Every structure is written in structure tokens, then in C-alpha cells.
Structure 1
Amino acid sequence: MNTTDAPNRIRALREERSWTQRDVADQIGPAVTEAHVGRWERGEVPPSLRYRRELARVFGVAVADLGITAGPALLPRQRSSAEDFMPDVEQDPRVRDSQDQWKATRTLLNQNRHRLSQVAADLYPEHRLGDTGLIAGPGWIPDAPVDLADITVTKVPGAPEPALDGTEREAARSLPDLTLSRSYDRYTRAVRDLAPPRLFEDRLSWRMLGVDWSPSAGAMSFGETTYFSAVDVFEPTAHELAYVALDADGQPSAHPHMRDLPYRRLIGNPFVCARRPVMPAISTLTIRRDGDSAEFLMHRRDPRAVAAAGGMLQVIPSGIFQPSSILPAARALDFDLWRNIQREFSEELLGMPECDGHGRPVDYASGPFAQLDEARADGRLSVHCLGVALDALTLVGEILTVLVVDADVFDSLAADFVDRNDEGQVVAERYAFTQDGVRGLLDSGKVAPAGAGCLELAWRWRDVLLP
């Protein structure tokens, strides 16, 4: 075929790279065969919007450079340089289609996080933590629960900036069009404009750099990051997998390989934390101990309020490891795993105002903070770390902990428990900490990976935690 008479430039772009049609199909994904590529090249069937973007990504060109002119809807609209700085009075249908597809994929992502976490964990089979949807690096799970008092946390001043920030070319599949001339440059900006949850603000956070366990103690090191910096990496990682693995009904349509996931492949070894901003959450299973019996609480996260794990059950309290305020005094005081757990306990269970990052340092000598400290000091409360893992879907860090509280302390605090908080509903039912109670929840497919990891490990070490 004379390429000057070709219906598009797909074949020319392929031959410039000495690729076969099969080479192109393999780089797009398992849903595309060399026969599809052949039909596109011959102009028999124009590729859909999705696959035009995929072809552009594979060839490293703009969609317009594919030269696809199958119908007036595909002709590029001419824009002046001034128009790029002015809002469109009427959004171009191609931009709207791109954004609608992005929103549809994000909806399916949020509806299928448990299922997708299992698919993602299969990509790291030697590191799976059971069927929780978590993966753990070598040595990240200690041989037994470690008291938080025996864990040293260290700040690394001037830690090098992560290599990845979510603006890489490989993340383009997860970013919708902003205008005809450019896509969104960051995932958080797309969320802000197209699908904003009720709670979505940037906050100073700590990023995990390393974890190490000795026989009876542990050490964790951290640098600094922001919430949005982490979201710009971990949500595109999840979005990419949903885009590849789910059909329009949210059902698995493919079992992806790393070759189908360019951004995840770019991340590489997920346990090399310095390469990307790994913002850890501290998830805590709260157990009420009454003699020989024990029960625990769960939290149903509201998908309208939170950016991740909406609609799923989670252990409570659970929150990002971050200071309560940007003030230096607060940052120094709050760099403590136990203080973070206490703040989340007070916010999620007692309805105390959430620290928004700009207030005065927290007074830990008063109220429920003092009550929790006193109970911990006299042995009526214990708090242990069960290990550190990553959510396989997002590769977010998870510090897994368990809080065991004697019935008298628990009941005194529970008198002020709320039914709802800013992130969702505190489940009124208390679950029996028994094999049936734990297994029933784990088998339900409704528990977020971090919560499932806490339950799995706490049950494994129940005789240590509940002597």
C-alpha cells in the first residue's frame, strides 16, 4: 500500500519502528489482536476513542498524529492560542467522551476495589498476605506482634524527592482530556473537577522510606510528602488496573500481566519505597476484651465522602500517618504512631473535630487522650503492630495495628461513641472475635485490604494478644 494514500498513519508509524501488527496489539493489551490492528490500518473499522488514545500512547504521539479521518467527528478543531486560556462555552464531544469514560472507570474502580485488589495481588504471588489483597515485602511482617513502645520511628531530614510524581507518560491512560489540546496533568486535578468526594484536601503527611524488625523491636523511617502528591501516584496505579481488567459492567474481562500495565511496570519493585511517595495509613483493629470473650468494631466508609475504599468495611480507627497541624510544635509532637491512633480514635469514634492541618497542637494531656494513656500505662489497654504491608491495588502503605481494651475502659469510652462520622457509619453491631466471626467477614468480600490484614494477623496471634 502506498502510505500517501493510506486511510490513516497507523501503518506508517508501526513500520517506522519496525514493529509487526502483533507487536502493536501486545502493547495495547489482551483485548486487541493483530487482526484488529490490520483492520484499523486498512480503514475498514476506525478504532474507538479508547483505542485511538491507546495507539497514541504506544507510538508516543498525539491522537491527531494518527491521521484518522473516518468521519467529521474525528477532525481536529482549530484553536487559537488565546482560546486555550478561555473556558469553552460548549465542551467538545471528544473531550466529554474522554471525561465520561474516565468517570465510568473510576466508578467501577470504587465499586470493585476488593475484587481488583485480588487481581493486583496475583501480580506479586510470592508476596501475597493470604487473600487480604495486601502484599508484604521481605521482612515486613514480624514473627510476633510488637508493642508500639518498642518501635523506633525516625525522620530522615532532606530525604531525596521520589522519582515518580504521576506526571509520567506511562500514567496517561489514567488521565482524561482537559481540552482538545491537552489532558489533565495530575490525577488529583481530575478528581477535583470531575468526581470530588466530600473530604478532599491536601495535607502534609509522612512518607514511608523503610521498615525493619528485630526479634523483639522494630524501626521505621519516614520523610515528608503531601496527600495529593501520594494520590497522584497511587490512584493512577489503581485506575490503570481497573481500565484494563474490568468490562463496562464491572466484571473481570481480562487477567492482566505487567506488560498491560505500563505505569505499574514503571514503578517496578513496589517495596522500594523511596522511588514514589508511599503515604502510609495506620489501620487499627479495636478489640473489647471481657474475660474470655472478645468482640471488635467495624466502620463502613461512605463512597460520597472519601476518595478511596468507599463502600467497604474497615477497621476503626484508621487514618493517614500525618501531623495534626503544620506548626513545628505539632509536627514534633505528632510524629508518633500512638498519637496518630489516639487522634483517629477521638475523631472517628467520639466525634471530636478532625484536625485540619492548620490548628493549634493537640492537648494530649486531657480528655480521651489522657484516658487512653492512663489505661495503657496500667495495663488495661495494649497496642501492638502486626506488620507493614501494601495495598496491592494502589501500592499504598498500611501499618497494621491492634488495640486491645479491657471492657471497663472500653464501655466508659463507648458511652460517647457516635453512629456516624465524616467518613462514614460506625457499624452498630459488634463482631465476635472468634474464628467464625473473623472468617465470616474475611469471606464476605466487603472488608478493605488493610482491615482484612489486621483481622487475618490478629487472629493468627490471638493467643499472644489475648493471653
Structure 2
Amino acid sequence: MSQQAAPPNRIRQLREAAGMSQQEVADAIATSTGGKVSTTAGTVSRWENGVSPLPVFRRALADVFGVKVPELGVPSAAPVPRPRSSAEDFMPDVEQDQRVVDSQRSWKSTRTLLNQNRHRLSQVAAGLYPDHQLGATGLITGPGWIPDAPVDLADIALTELPGAPEPVLDGTEREAARMLPDLTLTRPYPRYTQAVRDLARPRLFEDRVSWRMTGVDWSDGAGRMGFAATTYFAAVDVFEPTAHELAYVALDADGGLAERPTLRDLPYRKLIGAPFTFARRPVMPAISTLTVRRDGDRAEFLMHRRDPRAVAAAGGMLQVIPSGIFQPSSILPAARALDFDLWRNVQREFSEELLGMPECDGHGRPVDYTSGPFAVLDEARASGQLSVHCLGVALDALTLVGEILTVLVVNADVFDGLAADFVDRNDEGQVVAERFPFTEGGVRGLLSSGRVAPAGAGCLELAWRWREHLLPA
């Protein structure tokens, strides 16, 4: 008889003995350290499966479980020197000059105002492109980016272009310098992501391989989308300075709207030029999905409140769920081939955000789409109990980030079977317990509330426009 392998450590055993979920352990670590360190449920899962936590997390875990560090059962490892941050490289063990401190404090203040006023600023930004606004959602759309009717994801052909030229802009341009705080008296931060990392890091902030959009076309009731490779930080280095610039110019110190700027007042946005030209910058799209539960002639939908401490964008706003960047689940070639599929991306985000499954953070094995909730969703789709359509492509006017807007309609029996395992919270925020009626009052009430992120508002706007197509009698 083969012996069962010994667990890699006692973290799972201690967590289960304490009656805690992986997310509760992650939250407790942040609380026990006064917010000085934080982690995610996915990282706790990796620790339980043998990844060795850093010493600071070992101490925090011991505090959370009320044990001594050796009782965690984590194998000892030789100490590894902590890599110095870019700030430490340039300022070794010396006190910062007050002018540098003031520059960084001003930058952080503007970033805080940006995150607190994203909805208002998206409306201001959309006004810069009056001929391309998608209602009052804060989205703008390029010519031909919205199809004549919803298109089933199965009817959209994706093409990857490995030899596509690199975008012209990368966030290091002279016009972007005003959005970067000082690193030293003689040098600003070289990139926006490095400033975020050092001065205002959200809980989820990791560079990952992603896809950037190179084209979109709708014809004959079908669709074609082109993509090339990029990374998450490469896109952030362009889209967050674009938003930061507008906040800096448009808002006063209290977050009030000081003025409505023109493109002449926004040199970096002006440098980007026509926002619908994919070659100018990395247009990294998110896939945002409105999930609708259908029960006969009644329908209702879910929303997600994004935690501003956890995410780099749309923090504090309501968003449709699931929603996530279009990117492979792993750096392994087999995963990349499997994951170059809009439906697979929707499924992964559904499993992570609604079912609490560990996030596919780019470092694991390819996802097994033949089991668990993936198999349930595939079967429901094949049997006609679930449909998933694309409503179009748009840009968040504030950041000029791409948005692939989709809607998933699922019969009540399938939905309720999955909903039995829905979580209240996930790594990105809180799943709103209330289900909103998919009625004109329910949709318009949310859209007029000023609380919905642009992508979510676009999904609601278009889904209600095409409700008879999506929910046929």
C-alpha cells in the first residue's frame, strides 16, 4: 500500500483548526501587521501547497494562529538578501530631501483624488471625444466597434500576431514626466508603475504577460479581433499617467471640479492622439461580463464592489462580475494556447471572483477546463441553458483602456447550483449580496447612481438595448 505524502507544512491544518478561510487568513495578516504587509487568498493557497512564505509572513501567520514560527512546519531556508528598491538604489541610508518628500506627497495626493473621482473624471474625459461617447457611461467607441446585434463568443475569430510592431508610446515620453514624482533631487521616477510600487501599492499589483488589441471588426453577424503580446505594467505605464494627468488638471485640492480641460491642457493625452489607433499605445483589454440569472420571464443580475485598497483601477466603484484582463493563466506555452479564448477568460474570472477559486497568477500549470465549474459552464452552454455574447468593444475614456463588453445569461437551475458556493468577498472586493432586477428601473437606477464603473455601465446600457435578443420570449 502506498503511503500518503506528508503535507509540505502545517498552514492548512492550522487554518482549518481555526475555522478560517484563506481570504480570512489574508485579511488577518493585514490586520495583525497594521497594514504594513498584505497578501491574497491565492498566495495563502500556494503556501499551503508548499511555496515557502517569506520570514515576515511566517511571523504574521504565527501571530494569526497563535503559535510559534517553528510550529508552522515551514522548512528553513538560507536567508536571501532583499533586493533594494529603485528608491534605495539612489538614496542609500540617507534622509530624503524635503523637496523630494513634497513631490512624492503631491503625487500621492493627486492619485488619491484620481481614485476617489474616477466616475466623475470618466465623464469629463468622455466629453473630450463628443462624437464617440457611449451614452453617459464614460466609455467611448471607435467607428464600427459596436456590432449591429450581440455576437455569440463562438462566432468571434481571434488572431494572435507575434510579429506585430511595438506601440509607439511606452510612458517614458517627455510629456509624461509631469505625472511622475521625484525619486531624487535630480531624477524623477522613470516609470509610473515604479512610483505606484513604492508610494501607493495596491494589494493586487503584479506584472503579468497579457494580450494587447491590434484590431476589431464586425461583419456578417460575426467578429474578428487581433491581438499581440504585452505586459500588464507596460499598459499601466501609459493608461494610468493618462488618467493622472486629467485628475491633476481638472480637480482642485478637495476633489472638486476646478475646470473642464481641453486636449490643449493635456499634453500627454494630446500626444496619444486619436484614441482608436491601436498602434500608438498598448491597448490592453479587460473582458467585463454582465451575469444575468433568468427564471422564466424574470431576470436579475449581479454586481461587484471593487476594493480601492486591492486594485489599481476602479476602486470603490460597482462593476459587473466577472471582469478581468485578457491574459493567459500561466507562462507555460500550453496554457497560452488554451487561454487565447474569450470564453475561457470569462470562465476563469467567474471561478475566481464568484467561487473563490485561487487566482491563476501566471505561474502555475495550465487550467484543467474539463472539471469543476468549467465543466458545468461548458455543459450548460452546450445544452442551451447558458449563452454568452459580445456586445462590442469600447475604451474607458479616462484611461483609454480597452473593454470587451460581454453578457452571460444563465438559466435559474444552473445559476442556483453554482450560487450555492458563491463567496461574499474575493481578492478584488465584495460580491454585492443584493441581486438587481434586470428591468428598466433596475438598470436605469444603477446607471444614474454614479457608482458604476464605465465598463459595467456599458454592459448594462447595451444589454438593456438588446434585451429582446438576449432574453427571447
How many equivalent pairs are there?
A: 385
State the identity %. Answer: 85
Check 1:86–1:101 CA distance in 2 against 1; reply closer, same or farther (3 A cut). Answer: closer
User: Over residues 139-168 of structure 1, what are the superposed CA-to-partner deviations in whole Å (9 max), with x where a residue is unaligned?
Assistant: 000000000000001001211111100000
Q: Tell me the amino acid that sits aligned with residue 162 of structure 2.
A: P
Partner of 1:270: 275
Contact 1:350 1:418 in 2 (8 A): yes
Asked if residue 417 in structure 1 is aligned to residue 422 in structure 2, the reply is yes
How big is the shift at 1:85? 3.9
Name the residue aligned to 2:251: 246
Q: Deviations over 1:329-374 (max 9, x none)?
A: 0000000000000000000000000001010000000000000000
The answer to whether the aligner puts 1:330 opposite 2:335 as a matched pair is yes
Residue 217 (structure 1) aligns with: 222
Among 175, 195, 207, the alignment partner of 2:212 is 207
The structure 2 residue matched to 1:385, chosen from 383, 390, 398, is 390
1:455 CA drift (Å): 0.2
Structure 1 distance, partners of 2:344, 2:361, is 16
Asked whether the equivalents of residues 90 and 184 of structure 2 are also in contact (C-alpha less than 8 Å), the reply is no
Letter of the structure 2 residue corresponding to residue 254 of structure 1: E
Q: Which amino acid aligns with 1:96?
A: V
Match of 2:312, as an amino acid? Answer: A
- C-alpha contact (below 8 Å) 2:290/2:301 kept by paired residues: yes
Say what the alpha-carbon RMSD is for the aligned residues. Answer: 0.9
Alignment match, 2:466 = 461
Equivalence for 1:158: 163
8 Å CA contact 1:143–1:215 kept in 2: the answer is no
Structure 1 segments unaligned to the other structure (5+ residues): 1-82
Q: Is the 8 A contact 2:91 2:184 kept in 1?
A: no
Give, in angstroms, the shift of residue 86 of structure 1.
3.9
- Which residue number in structure 1 is paired with residue 300 of structure 2? 295
Measured in 2, the distance between the counterparts of 1:143 and 1:221 equals 20
- CA distance in structure 2 between the aligned counterparts of 1:318 and 1:207, rounded to whole angstroms: 16
Contact 2:284 2:325 in 1 (8 A): yes
Q: Pick from 380, 395, 398 the counterpart of residue 400 of structure 2.
A: 395
Higher alpha-carbon Rg:
1
1:133 corresponding residue in structure 2: 138
Aligned equivalent of 2:117: 112
Q: Secondary structure at the match of 1:87?
A: coil
Letter in 2 for 1:218: G
Q: Given residue 405 of structure 1, which amino acid in structure 2 is its aligned partner?
A: V
SS of match in other structure, 1:152: strand
Counterpart position of 1:189: 194
Question: Partner of 1:375 in structure 2?
Answer: 380
Cα distance in 1 for partners of 2:92, 2:461 equals 51
Q: For 1:299 and 1:85, how far apart are their aligned partners in 2?
A: 41
Structure-1 residue corresponding to 2:65: none
Amino acid at match of 1:406: N
Classify the secondary structure of the residue corresponding to 1:154. strand
For structure 2, the residue ranges without an aligned partner over 5 or more in a row are 1-87
* In structure 1, distance between residues paired with 2:398 and 2:223: 26
Length-normalised TM-score, structure 2: 0.81
Q: Which residue of 2 aligns with 1:236?
A: 241
Q: Deviations over 1:53-99 (max 9, x none)?
A: xxxxxxxxxxxxxxxxxxxxxxxxxxxxxx98442521111111110
* Superposition misfits of 4+ residues, deviation over 6 angstroms: none
The one-character-per-residue Cα deviations of 1:390-409 (angstroms, maximum 9, x if unpaired) are 00000000000000000000
